[in-house]
Structure 1
Amino acid sequence: MAARALPLGVPVTVLDEPALATLFRDAPDGWRALFRRYPGASGVAELSHPLPVAADTAVVHVARQCGDKCASVFRVRVARGADGRWRTVAVDPLGDR
């Protein structure tokens, strides 16, 4: 687990898959344990590796969960600008629960 400085405007704690799995395995109510361990957290976001579409465009899948019946999945299309920075071009919702 590592605190990362990501340019998101909110604090971010990065958990690897084994750490998250352990938290949910060891606690009878994993979501309650997560929110107790990380006060102020709004849930868990999972990002796919970027899938290249072309040299200057890619797709990233973003899943967000905040409880047993709270989840959303999005396809995010990004493009690299002339300055070399990646920017969001479109966000397509893929589903909720």
Structure 2
Amino acid sequence: MATFTTAFPRGFAIEVLDVYSGPPRIAFKFRHWGYMEGPFKGHPPHGQRVELFGVCIFHVDEDMKVDKSEYFYERGNFLAGFLSCPVMRGN
């Protein structure tokens, strides 16, 4: 987690774009985003926005507490955000 918070010191926000169903299984589309302003696993920061879109399902109990969460997203799309980095381009 420290590696990730170093790469995104201002945070990695989540935005709920659409809600598809209500309790007890809440399905929604989300966008996670942040600016890569710190190094990430040997790759220098590029200061650009990195974002990821996906779908999540929260399984909640009668008190609306999340018992289980399932996330579905394309990892390659997220990692592509790091390609702006000179080390990743091979320069």
What TM-score do the two structures reach when normalised by structure 2? 0.44
Higher strand fraction (1 or 2): 1
Higher relative contact order, chain-length normalized (CA < 8 Å, sep 6+): 2
What TM-score do the two structures reach when normalised by structure 1? 0.42
